[in-house]
Chain A
Amino acid sequence: EVQLVQSGAQVRGPRESLTISCKGSGYSFTDYWIAWVRQMPGKGLEWMGIIYPGDSDTRYSPSFQGQVSISADNSIKTAFLHWGSLKTSDTAMYFCARGLSGTLSPFFLDYWGQGTPVTVFS
């Protein structure tokens, strides 16, 4: 059974750093992309970026480039989303999701993690 299990809820202050994780199981971790998607309270889905663990190819949305970094550790089948300096506006739910490698771009996201709520208090 394919599963993506994310790390638990996080509470931080502004300017603190944070890394959240997404562990894949039930499939070949290096053969699929892992995307990160933000959902701010009461708002829609925002595609942040994506990594292909097979070769570490990483792509970011311009809106998030330089604000976060995405990485993966294949030995533990886990992808990471990292902030070096949090802002209150980073308060949101963050989802990871799996995408099959495609011709033009990573394909649709067929399995999703349960989400990690991040709260940055002022």
Chain B
Amino acid sequence: DIVMTQSPDSLAVSLGERAAIRCKSSQSLLYSLDRKNYLAWYQQKPGQPPKLVISWASTRQSGVPDRFSGSGSGTDFTLTINSLQPEDVAVYYCQQYYNTPNSFGQGTKLEVK
């Protein structure tokens, strides 16, 4: 099974500053035939279900602000939030969908400093 490890576990960033969350997989998520990375990022606010933010490592979902971006390939990925806004406070999870079980990272709690 693929193990997903996020860092840091928690992060405090000032409003207007940049936040970066890393995700590392125990094996490559890059599929050779389509050259796509099978990685997603989710945002979960308190009392709510998770919300898909990024798929294919870097494709922003419709309606997601462009201050959110995803990067990386293979085993190392980053979710970057530019110019942090109060509504971005949440727990963020990465998930691989390269194979089942489609494991999640342990989550990163993002707070305002």
A residues near B (Cβ < 8 Å) are 35, 37, 44-47, 49-50, 59-63, 95, 97, 99, 102-110, 112-115
Contact = CB atoms under 8 A, between A and B. Distances in A.
A106 B100 contact: yes
B107 A112 contact: no
Contact of B93 (A44, A106, A113): A44
Contact of B104 (A46, A49, A60, A106): A46
A44 B97 CA distance: 17
B50 A105 contact: no
10 contacts: A44-B105, A62-B101, A102-B38, A103-B33, A104-B31, A106-B102, A107-B38, A107-B97, A108-B55, A110-B61
Interface residues of B, number: 28
Contact of B40 (A46, A59, A109): A109
Interface of B: 1, 31, 33-34, 38, 40, 42, 44, 49-52, 55, 61, 91, 93, 95, 97-107
Contact of B51 (A62, A63, A105, A112): A112
A112 to B, nearest CB: 4
Contacts of B98: 104-105
B49 A112 contact: yes
**Residue with the greatest number of chain B CB neighbours at <10 A, chosen from A95, A97, A104, A113:** A104
B40 A62 contact: no
A44 B51 CA distance: 14
